[in-house]
């Protein structure tokens, strides 16, 4: 009887022993995973797969190059206005970079900022006809892809897909806000003389929406 009881106890003990081993192994695995786990905030620089496109890094690294290129290409707004009035197509070819729906033209001017609407100022520029309205984006929203397209050096073929290409334009706008617009009181420019270097897409010859790469208050 005692021999049979011992056998029963032994059979019962074996499943418990195996369960204990499995539980211990599971705890060890979980501990190892916890040690090897890195918490990453969604949207942060670390939240990018190796080799994947990082819009934030692109904007940070490329904005200085774009800014310098636009400054070098920039032509006086008065000269551009006169050329457009004479022959819009010829002016676009001479001063612009072809960018899909119209050439991107880099310009520079000094003028008095007037009324503002949704962060966009109308600027009165000497030498530019009254029929031409020059507006400058100051945020908080910066729209369009002027900075991406104005140099002719950033092309769709450099990106994996349309989303990355679009995000590259947005990233340059965001970086411009950090490096340029953050240095001025963009909400209080009305009545002040400002000097601007920037780019605009030539679609309407009498209405230019300029995205700045430099904006100084006199």
The reported pLDDT for the residue numbered 20 is 61
- Number of residues assigned to the chain: 218
Residue 73 sits in a domain of what CATH number?
A: 2.40.50.420
Residue 102 lies in a domain: yes
Q: What is the pLDDT of residues 54-110, one digit of tens each?
A: 999 999 999 999 999 999 999 999 999 999 999 999 999 999 999 878 899 999 999
User: Does residue 177 sit in the same domain as residue 87?
Assistant: yes
DSSP of 36-94, one letter per residue?
A: H-----TTSTTSS-TTS--HHHHHHHHHHHHHHHHHHH-EEHHHHHHHHHH-HHHHHHH
- Residues of the chain scoring pLDDT < 70: 1-27, 29-51
Closest Cα partner for 146 from 195, 114, 101?
Answer: 101
**Residue 170, strand partner residues:** none
User: Does residue 2 sit in the same domain as residue 79?
Assistant: no
User: Does residue 36 sit in the same domain as residue 111?
Assistant: no
User: Does residue 99 sit in the same domain as residue 189?
Assistant: yes
The reported pLDDT for the residue numbered 169 is 95
- Where do we find the tokens 């499995």? 22
The reported pLDDT for the residue numbered 101 is 81
User: Does residue 26 sit in the same domain as residue 126?
Assistant: no
The reported pLDDT for the residue numbered 40 is 46
Which residues span the domain enclosing 86?
Answer: 69-217
Beta strand 104-117 with 193-201 is antiparallel
The reported pLDDT for the residue numbered 30 is 62
| Number of domains present in the structure of the chain | 2
Residue 58 lies in a domain: no
């Amino acid at each position: 009887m005692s021999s049979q009881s011992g056998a029963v106890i032994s059979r019962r003990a074996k499943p418990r022993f195996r369960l204990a081993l499995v539980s211990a192994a599971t705890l060890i695995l979980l501990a190892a995973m916890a040690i090897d786990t890195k918490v990453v905030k969604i949207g942060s620089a670390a939240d990018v797969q190796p080799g994947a496109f990082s819009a934030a890094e692109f904007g940070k690294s490329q904005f200085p190059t774009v800014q310098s290129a636009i400054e070098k290409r920039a032509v006086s707004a008065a000269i551009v206005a006169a050329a457009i009035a004479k022959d819009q197509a010829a002016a676009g070819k001479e001063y612009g970079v072809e960018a899909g729906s119209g050439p991107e033209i880099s310009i520079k001017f000094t003028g008095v900022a007037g009324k503002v609407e949704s962060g966009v100022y109308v600027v009165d520029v000497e030498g530019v006809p009254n029929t031409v309205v020059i507006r400058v984006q100051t945020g908080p929203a910066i729209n369009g892809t002027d900075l991406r397209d104005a140099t002719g050096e950033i092309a769709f073929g450099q990106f994996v897909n349309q989303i990355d290409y679009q995000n590259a334009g947005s990233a340059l706008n965001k970086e411009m806000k950090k490096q340029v617009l953050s240095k001025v009181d963009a909400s209080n420019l009305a009545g002040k003389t400002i000097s601007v270097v920037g780019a605009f897409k030539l679609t309407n010859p009498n209405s230019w929406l300029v995205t700045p790469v430099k904006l100084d208050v006199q």
